[in-house]
Structures are given as C-alpha cells and as structure tokens.
Amino acid sequence: MSVQPNENTAAATAGTVSSMMGLMSSVKEKWDSSGGNEVLGRVSASIPQGTKDYIGSASQNLFNRQHLRSITVFFGMGEERPFYIEKAPSLLVARLKHNVKFFYLNYMIVFAILFVLTMITSFSTMIGLVCLGAAWLYVIKASDEGTLRAGAIQISQKTATIGMSVISAVVLFWLLSHIFWWTLGSGGFLCTAHAGLRDASMHQDEDDRVDMSGDLTLDATTENAAFLNPVEGSAAVDKV
C-alpha cells in the first residue's frame, strides 16, 4: 500500500520531464519563427557596451569555478578541528564574513539542490507542471497556422504566446512559492549553521593571496646570510 504513492510520483516525474522536453523544443521553434531573436538582438544593441562588459565580468567572477570549494574543504576532512562553537562575538562575526565569502558558491549549490529535490518530490507540483506543459502544447498546436480560435474570436499567435507567458508566470508562482520559501528557510538554516561552526581560517581566499614575481639573485654575501642558512650562520657565530 505504501508503494503506490512512490510509483505515482515517479510516473508523474517521468511524464513531466517528457512533457517539458517536448515543450521546450516546440517553444524554441515558435520563438525562432516569431522573430524573438531579432527583438532580443535589438534590446541587446541598445545596452551600452560598458554596461554589458561590466555585467559579463561580474557574472564570470561570480560563477568562477575556482571559487567552488571541494567536499574535503567544505567539510574540513582531515583537519584536526573543522567545526566548533566560537564564543567570542567578534571572532564569530569574522568567521561568518569569511565563510560566506569563501563558500558562497557552495551555498548556492546547496540551495539549488534543495529546491530541485523539493520540487520533484512534491506530487501536486508535478501534476501542476504537467498540466501547464499540456496547456502550452495545446496553444502551440492550435496556433500553428498563425492564429488561435477561441469560439468566434481569433487570437494571433503572438498575442496567445504573450497571454500564456503571463498565465504561466502566475501558475508557476502559485506552484513554486511554498517550495521557494521552504528552500529559503531550510537552506538558510543549513548554510548559516555551516558558516557559524566551520573554522576555515586556515584557508585563504583569492583576495588574501599575494602574487610574487621576479628573479631572486644572490651574491656571495647574501648567500651566507643567517636567515637563508641558519645552520651555517650559527656555526660561523660560534667560531667567532
């Protein structure tokens, strides 16, 4: 008896994935045929080049894979004391700031995983997405000749697409709002707990590193300096 809901959920998930794949293909074809790419091109051309360069640079830096920490670093595997409660308020604030900056990309992945897992395990959400996908397929097929008939009213394909987009936004907000808030709450709790307990002070961020370049040239005097050769230097002092 307990297996039936799982089977229904799995079937709904598979049906949703199949419907969404077909929907995406159909929408892409309609988008290309309706001149959507030309509209986006004109909008993109109206944006100043400096703004586009700034947005591109910020996005590239934000999603830089070098800022993604490994599982070993994220959980402090192999470290002597990776997690402990910091009682000093000033040190706790410094830890939170460092960890949010150091693990921010990992935290974003945690939120994304929680959102996807919550969505695919919600039976009502899957049913709603299937119905929304079916509605899109109906509109696309019904307006295949350029117009959509609703009784005696004829609606152009562009108007029908815009109308379905507005309806889809409202439906998605209604379907995913509880998932969004649950993900925000649970993900925020987990990430805040990790940032507050994880002692990652031994790991330096990119901004803390100092790049050194140049050649190190040594003459006869500096080669025997005490800080370069402590053993030989100490021996020389003993002889004197």
Q: What percent of the chain has pLDDT over 70?
A: 66
**22-29 mean pLDDT:** 62
Which residues lie below 8 Å from residue 1, measured CB to CB, with a gap of 6+?
Answer: none
Express each pLDDT in 114-166 by its tens digit: 999 999 888 888 899 899 989 888 888 887 777 877 777 788 878 888 888 89
DSSP state of 69: P
Comparison of pLDDT for 38 and 95, the residue scoring more: 95
Strand ranges inside the chain, DSSP E:
147-150, 153-156
What local confidence, expressed as pLDDT, does residue 208 receive?
52
pLDDT of residue 207: 53
- Residues 106 and 114: their CA atoms lie apart, in Å, by 12
- Greater confidence (42 vs 127) lies with 127
> Kindly report the CA angle at 58 between 53 and 61, in degrees rounded to 5?
125
Looking at residue 221, what is its pLDDT?
55
Q: How far apart are CA 188 and CA 190, in angstroms?
A: 6
pLDDT of res. 138: 86
Closest to 103 (Cα-Cα) out of 197, 181, 210: 197
| Res. 212: pLDDT tops 50 | yes
Q: Which residues pair with 156 in a beta bridge?
A: 147
Please tell me the distance from the alpha carbon of residue 49 to that of residue 181, in angstroms, as a whole number: 37
